[in-house]
Amino acid sequence: MTPIVEGRGLTRTFPMAGGVVTALRNVSIAIAPGEYVAITGPSGCGKSTLLHLLGCVDTPTSGSLIFEGREAAGLSESERSRIRLTRIGFVFQRFFLLPMLSAAENIELPQAEVGTAPATRRARTRELLDYVGLVDRAHHRPSQLSGGEMQRVAVARALANRPALVLADEPTGELDEDTGEQIAALFGRVHADGTAIVVVTHNQALAARAKRHLTMRRGAVTDA
Amino acid sequence: MTPRALAWRTITASPARAVLAVAGVAIIGALLFDMLLLSRGLLLSFRDLLESAGYDVRVVASESFPVVRLPVPRASALAAQLEGLPEVQEVAVVRTDRANVTLDTSIPDQAFSPDRTQEEPTTGQRSSQDVTLVSVSSAAERRAWQVVRGRGLAEAASGLARPPLLVSRRLAKDLDLSPGSTVMVRVVLAGAPSALPRVRFTLVGVAAFSFDRSDDFTAATTADAFRQTQAESGSDDADLVLVSSRAGFGSAAAVAAISQVRPDVKPFSNDELVSRFNENGFAYFRQISFVLSSITLGFAFLLIATLLTMSVNQRLGQVAGLRALGIPRRRIAAALLWESTWLVGGGGLIALPLGWLLATRLDHLLKQMPGLPERLHFFVLEPRAVVLHLGLFVAAGVAASAYPIWVATRLPIAATLRRDAIS
């Protein structure tokens, strides 16, 4: 099966005042459609860097990244934006919901950017709010939602344009254990519905739901 | 959601900050608007004042007018000669002198029956006042002043036992004069007792004089009566000869024609006078206005740039998140530009009435300067100033939003997300 995204020999270094820091060393990885991958490892081991490369928000210092058959290095910024908008869904540790918009409006935002008709995106938004169990909170702003509710809205936003791949960076990092478990269950449903997921996490319960586990240490995948 | 709507929601999400920002922009905008009004106000007002007299050419004795004002000799002959030119429609000879006006309560003019019902309450305390006594040819009277009470000179002169006099409102109030009053007028000489005779006049009306000054009093009479105050000295000098060009010729043609037939005098069109004023007397205001406008515009730029930059810096993680979600740079740039537009537009529009109120107050203060005609204004509202004000504000808003837009659209997404996660 053709992978959604494939990284070959990915290396990412950052020039710092004290010298060059290598965050990722020669990592090769492929994510197949419908796969559920958890990446774990200690802080600073390169998990988020790898996730950013897979999500086309960063470019490798060396190596190549191929997204749905296209070499990411050859894409313009607007083409990478388009891929992120239509083929990838991001879930962040800090949610990054727009505070001045309601839950429904936050979910509508990426759909509007694609050009989805208002009636269609309202229907899709309602469907997603129902999916994450927040229909009654549609018109609430993020400040009126709990952390778990905000992350559920963020998951719904990530799914808004029916992406092939959802990338989640510590999605339970700001949540308590019970709420984290609810988010883990939600990711389980998303995967069950056929969306590929790569989640970077320290949460063992969340990682345990993945079908494939990658452990990273010092910028390299040590256990796959 | 459009960038405009997103920007509006962003601003209204923090109403206190938005109100403070708009208020700051409005105050700076009001100052900028005032500087723009000041940059041309005096010039426009001066032109308006010249044109209000109804004459478009002024003939004087020397090139150095209006700095040095020499008398025009044999003015009556000059006026007659100019009236014969095809380019000239009308000529008026203007004579002025300093005079003392004294209220004479002893002998009312039986031939004059004033309309007492139109009298205003007066608070006059003096019985005598030094004034500028003016005379113009009768044809020009209707243009040089506007009678607000009583009658005009030409209208009232026939049948009066004494020569007619018109006074300014300030003089009427100061001496408690009203139409029908009798006054004594004596031309005075600076620094020396006057041996000229007192002439008894009948006050026929109160008028608003175009060139009336706030620190002086004005009275006007006919050319014949003016000569009586000079003890029929025979002098035919005038301060000024006013000319209106004939329709179809224009002031430039009239000036050329006058220069040709009378090279000994100097005619100025209103445009030339305004130009001279612009080069000499007005340059000071223009330079002050330019410097203060530039400083104010700089403040507006800094205020808007600071507000937007701080706002963007507080939302870097959020912006990086949006870009990671695939929201393109141009949408984020458009939203920030709209944020700037809302703040600058709101403040800029409020600045117009606020600036005008401030200009009215400043105009009142500046007009206290001695020697200025009352009708002269430093701040004149004109569409050009409004358009320029809005244009400069839009330019400042766009320029000020350039840096925050650059920050938001060029930020490294991954590094920003990482920094946000660590913080």
CB atoms within 10 A of CB A108: 22
Name the residue among A134, A152, A155 with its Cα closest to residue A91: A155
Name the residue among A150, A171, A161 with its Cα closest to residue A99: A150
B36 close to B292: Cβ distance less than 8 angstroms:
no
Exposure string over B106-122, b if 16+ CB within 10 A, otherwise e: eeebeebebeeeeeeee
Strand partners, B220: B134, B166
Determine contact: A109 vs chain B, CB below 8 A: yes
List the single residue in A with minimal CA-CA distance to B330.
Answer: A78
Calpha distance B273→B267 (Å, rounded) = 10
Minimal Cβ distance to A82: which of B322, B323, B326 = B326
Calpha distance B292→B382 (Å, rounded) = 19
Chain segment B359-391, per-residue pLDDT in tens: 999 999 988 887 788 788 889 999 999 999 989
Q: And the tokens for B324?
A: 């990671």
Determine contact: A149 vs chain B, CB below 8 A: no
Calpha distance B19→B249 (Å, rounded) = 57
Mapping DSSP to helix (H, G, I), strand (E, B) and coil, where does residue B193 land?
coil
Mapping DSSP to helix (H, G, I), strand (E, B) and coil, where does residue B95 land?
strand
Chain segment A93-111, per-residue pLDDT in tens: 889 999 999 999 999 999 9
Taking the CA of residue A95 and the nearest CA in chain B, the distance in Å comes to 8
Q: What is the pLDDT of residue B157?
A: 65
Maximum pairwise Cα distance, chain A: 54
Q: What is the pLDDT of residue A150?
A: 95
| Helix intervals (H) in A40-176 | 47-54, 77-86, 103-114, 118-131, 147-159
pTM exceeding 0.80: no
Is A49 within 8 Å of B1 when comparing Cβ atoms? no
The residues, any chain, with a CB within 8 Å of residue A119's CB and separated by 6 or more, are none
Chain segment B143-191, per-residue pLDDT in tens: 668 888 888 887 776 777 788 899 998 888 888 888 888 888 888 876 6
Name the residue among B351, B257, B346, B268 with its Cα closest to residue B307: B346
The total number of residues shown for chain B amounts to 423
For A135, A139, B18, the CA distances from A144, given in Å and listed in that order, are 14, 10, 22
Q: Where residue A177 falls among pLDDT bands split at 50, 70, 90? A: confident
Residue B63 pLDDT > 80: no
Interface test mutation site (partner A, options B1, B417, B418, max chain A beta carbons within 10 A): B417
Taking the CA of residue A57 and the nearest CA in chain B, the distance in Å comes to 6
Sign of CA dihedral B290, B291, B292, B295: positive
Q: And the tokens for B26?
A: 């409005």
- The radius of gyration computed from the CA coordinates of chain A, to the nearest angstrom, equals 17
Structure ipTM over 0.85, yes or no: yes
CB atoms within 10 A of CB A117: 10
The residues, any chain, with a CB within 8 Å of residue A55's CB and separated by 6 or more, are A84, A88, A90, A167, B324
For B76, B139, B412, the CA distances from A219, given in Å and listed in that order, are 105, 100, 20
Contacts 24+ apart (CB under 8 A), B379-386: B379/B34, B379/B37, B379/B38, B379/B41, B380/B37, B380/B40, B380/B41, B380/B42, B380/B44, B380/B45, B380/B48, B381/B37, B381/B356, B382/B37, B382/B40, B382/B44, B384/B40, B385/B33, B385/B36, B385/B37, B385/B39, B385/B40, B386/B33, B386/B352
Determine contact: A44 vs chain B, CB below 8 A: no
Minimal Cβ distance to B331: which of A83, A113, A173 = A113
> Which positions in chain A touch B314 (Cβ < 8 Å)?
none
Angle (CA) B88-B147-B233 rounded to 5° is 65
Mapping DSSP to helix (H, G, I), strand (E, B) and coil, where does residue B20 land?
helix
Mean pLDDT of B19-35: 92
Maximum pairwise Cα distance, chain B: 102
Q: In what order do the strands lie in the sheet with A62-67?
A: A19-31, A5-16, A62-67, A70-71
Q: What is the mean pLDDT of chain A?
A: 93
Q: What is the pLDDT of residue B373?
A: 80
Name the residue among B302, B328, B257, B321 with its Cα closest to residue B404: B302
Name the residue among B166, B160, B161, B142 with its Cα closest to residue B55: B142
Chain segment B304-327, per-residue pLDDT in tens: 899 889 989 988 999 999 999 999
Q: Where residue B423 falls among pLDDT bands split at 50, 70, 90? A: low
Name the residue among B49, B31, B29 with its Cα closest to residue B367: B49
Helix (H) or strand (E) holding A197: strand A196-200
Name the residue among B124, B119, B86, B78 with its Cα closest to residue B105: B124
Q: What is the pLDDT of residue A82?
A: 95
Q: What is the mean pLDDT of chain B?
A: 84
Interface test mutation site (partner A, options B1, B325, B422, B423, max chain A beta carbons within 10 A): B325
A61 close to A11: Cβ distance less than 8 angstroms:
yes
Sign of CA dihedral A164, A122, A102, A132: negative
Name the residue among A34, A163, A72, A76 with its Cα closest to residue A111: A163
Calpha distance B328→B340 (Å, rounded) = 19
Residue in the structure block whose two tokens are 């009336």: B212
Chain segment A131-152, per-residue pLDDT in tens: 999 999 999 999 999 999 999 9
> Which positions in chain A touch B413 (Cβ < 8 Å)?
52, 57-58
